[in-house]
A and B are shown apart, each in its own frame.
Chain A
Amino acid sequence: MQHYVNIIINSVFIENILLIYFLGMCSFLSISKKVETSIGLGLAVIFVLSITAPANWAINEYLLADGALSWAGLGHINLDFLQFIVFISVIAAMVQLVEMLMDRFSPALYVNLGIFLPLITVNCSILGTSLFLVEREYDLIESTVFGFGSGLGFFLAIVSLATVRKRMRYSNVPPTLRGVGMAMLLTGLISMAFLGFSGISL
């Protein structure tokens, strides 16, 4: 149990997917103008990551990795060069599926999160998480926990930036620095604060 809690703490604070690995910056910068929408996007990312991480783990483990096809008597085939295209297709398909299910069973949730779902397919943090869990050789439960933790890290980062950006309205920023430039500098400061966590040993 402790091991799984450590994975979550590690992926939320110490190796935050956004502030330390820079994944998912595009939507991070464009959606963080309002707190409500940033919460919506953050929740959608947590949701999609917790589903795609185990799905991609299973596909890699039983179809793509070196010797993974031995259950079908094809142990000598190594398909791991197909990882990228298969992972991105799985993510696109999963997002579509989630969107349809949400629309059918929970229209209220769909209204709030639905508009963010198509954006998520091309969010680097989703593909990045799938690639990281292959690189780090996690098992099924570890991957699920890691997916959830990465999503939580993204949520925390985007909501904190949105709240800070809201405060910036009252300050007099040079015109050409407004928007992206300022958001970048603010992210740098938040990221610096998160570096403080790197001293924690788990």
Chain B
Amino acid sequence: MNLFSSKNKKIVKDPLMGENPISIHVLGICSALAITTKIDTAVVMTIAVVAVLSISNVVISLLRNNIPNKVRIIIQMSVVASLVIIADQVLKAYMYDMSKLLGVFLALIITNCIVLGRAEAFAMQNSPSKALLDGMGNGLGYGAILIAVAFFRELFGFGSIYGAQVFSDQIYSGGYENNGLMILSPGAFFILGLIVWAHRAYTKVIDKD
């Protein structure tokens, strides 16, 4: 099988734009809002979700012919929960400060609808290699929105991009102030709402009501 066939490319590319899990399918919003005050937390979260989502997709796809239909949700959930535990332990061991910042939100990858949704909708019907690509694509599509939200919140909330100060002291002494609302929860809702609007206007997806 050719890894770079157009079909495989489509599996990775679709969730990045037209089938984006957050802005089109509205899955996994909780963490998209909570950990996006700064770009670095968003990046670490993206890496964790891509890892958990790709591995869980592969594992479930390997098991798919042996999972009884009636108990499939609980099996999918235990696979995901075990992977999240591993991710959490790795973060605690190598990036302790970051794991303190992410706090309970790393654990909440378990209940992130994207992971269970892809397991149920894709991995249960497809081969492991395709499931891996689908997991990566959806993880990256999620990450793209996450980093976009974090970019605006950090820029207007702290005046920096990825920790580097953008607005100089001159601007501050000229009367500019950081917008505190961006760091608080309403800022996250507004930014994500506007990004969803922009993305849907571009892809021309319209809700019925």
Contact = CB atoms under 8 A, between A and B. Distances in A.
Decide whether A and B assemble into one complex: yes
Interface string B175-209: 00000010011111110111011001100111111
B85 to A, nearest CB: 5
B78 A124 contact: no
Q: Is the interface of B mostly helix, strand, loop or mixed?
A: helix
B90 to A, nearest CB: 12
Contact of B193 (A123, A169, A185): A185
A30 B28 CA distance: 12
A75 interface: no
Contacts of A19: 185
Interface in A150-196: 169, 174-185, 187-189, 191-192, 195
Interface in A1-54: 19-26, 29-30, 33
Interface of A: 19-26, 29-30, 33, 81-85, 88-89, 92, 122-124, 126-128, 131-132, 135, 169, 174-185, 187-189, 191-192, 195
Interface of B: 23, 26-31, 33-34, 74, 77-78, 81-82, 84-85, 88-89, 103-104, 107-108, 110-113, 116, 181, 184-190, 192-194, 196-197, 200-201, 204-209
24 contacts: A21-B185, A23-B108, A25-B33, A33-B209, A81-B85, A82-B85, A84-B85, A84-B110, A92-B74, A124-B30, A127-B108, A131-B104, A131-B108, A169-B209, A178-B209, A180-B26, A181-B200, A185-B194, A189-B186, A191-B185, A191-B186, A191-B189, A192-B181, A195-B184
- Interface pairs A-B: 10 shortest CB-CB: A179-B207, A184-B193, A188-B189, A25-B29, A85-B81, A185-B193, A22-B33, A131-B104, A192-B186, A181-B197
